[in-house]
């Protein structure tokens, strides 16, 4: 698994729960180190181990932890760069949803060896969608739930999300966009670079 993904988990735990909890999780996972490097590749088995360890240390179900990671990735100021990159997907939440099919390709444009699970948006009529996520990493759908929830907030859209289960190597999220311009949303200034 790409170091960026493992490091995202690390930063989520440190920024939300403190360094001690993270150090504890690395011990439970028997990592032998505490710092993931974002530009290195790690063994595929490491990520599920770390997620289980984090879930154990925080005493919370793993799917809840994964959804929180998704929310963290979009809403925490320490990872503002990622929110900005996602906002390039469209000027409204619905346009953003339609850009999700391209997400793995966009990620690969930025970091050529970063392979995200494929995702596909299905359109069921006005305001009604489902997002099908490949789940090599069990619970990836929950991460996407967190991302979508936070992005809806970011755009100021009112949307209802429901994880409708997994099977056949995919997880599905039902998305109902009730109102596109429900709230003010956060500003997205093309020229204000996060770095």
Partner 1 sequence: MTVLGDVSGALDILCPMHLVLSTTGRVMHAGPTVQKLRPDTPLIGLGFLDLFELKRPRGITTMEQLNAVAGSKLHLQLRDPPRTEIKGVLVRAPDNAHSIVNLSFGISVVDAVSDYALTSADFAATDPTIEMLYLVEAKSAAMDSSRKLNLRLQGAMIAAEEQAFTDTLTGLKNRRAMDHVLSRHIDWGTRFGVMQVDLDWFKAVNDTLGHAAGDHVLQTVARIMVEETRDCDTVARVGGDEFVVVLPYTKGTDGLEHIGRRIIDQLSRPITFQGEMCMISASIGTAIYEPDARKTMAEILDDADVALYASKNRGRATQTLYDPALRAKVG
Question: Which residues contact partner 1 by CB under 8 A?
Answer: 4, 37-40, 81, 84-85, 88, 90-91, 106, 109-111, 189-195
Minimum CB separation of residue 131 from partner 1 in Å reads 21
Counting Cα atoms < 13 Å in the Cβ hemisphere of 177 gives: 27
The contacts of residue 184 (CB under 8 Å, 6+ apart) are 156
Closer by beta carbon to partner 1, 63 or else 83: 83
Minimum CB separation of residue 83 from partner 1 in Å reads 11
Closer by beta carbon to partner 1, 48 or else 90: 90
Closer by beta carbon to partner 1, 90 or else 185: 90
Closer by beta carbon to partner 1, 95 or else 120: 95
Q: What is the DSSP string of 38-75?
A: TTSB--TTHHHHHHHHHHHHHTS-HHHHHHHHHHHHHH
* Exposed e or buried b per residue across 154-168, where buried means at least 16 C-beta atoms within 10 angstroms of its C-beta: bbbbbbebebeebee
Minimum CB separation of residue 192 from partner 1 in Å reads 7
Minimum CB separation of residue 75 from partner 1 in Å reads 17
List phi, psi (to 5°) of 194.
Answer: -65, -25
């Amino acid at each position: 698994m790409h170091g960026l993904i493992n490091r995202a988990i690390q930063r989520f735990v440190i920024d939300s729960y403190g360094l001690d909890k993270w150090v504890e999780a690395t011990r439970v996972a028997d990592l032998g180190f505490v710092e993931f490097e974002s530009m290195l590749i790690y063994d595929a088995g490491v990520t599920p181990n770390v997620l289980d360890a984090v879930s154990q240390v925080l005493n919370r179900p793993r799917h809840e932890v994964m959804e929180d990671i998704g929310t963290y990735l979009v809403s925490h100021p320490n990872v503002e760069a990622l929110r900005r990159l996602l906002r390039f997907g469209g000027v409204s939440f619905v346009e953003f949803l339609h850009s999700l099919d391209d997400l793995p390709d966009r990620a690969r444009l930025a970091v050529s060896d970063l392979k995200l699970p494929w995702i596909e948006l299905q359109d069921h009529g006005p305001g009604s969608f489902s997002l099908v996520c490949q789940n090599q990493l069990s619970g990836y759908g929950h991460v996407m739930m967190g991302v979508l929830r936070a992005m809806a907030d970011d755009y100021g859209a009112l949307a209802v999300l429901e994880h409708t289960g997994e099977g056949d190597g995919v997880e599905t999220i039902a998305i109902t966009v009730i109102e596109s311009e429900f709230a003010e949303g956060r500003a997205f200034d093309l020229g204000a670079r996060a770095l």
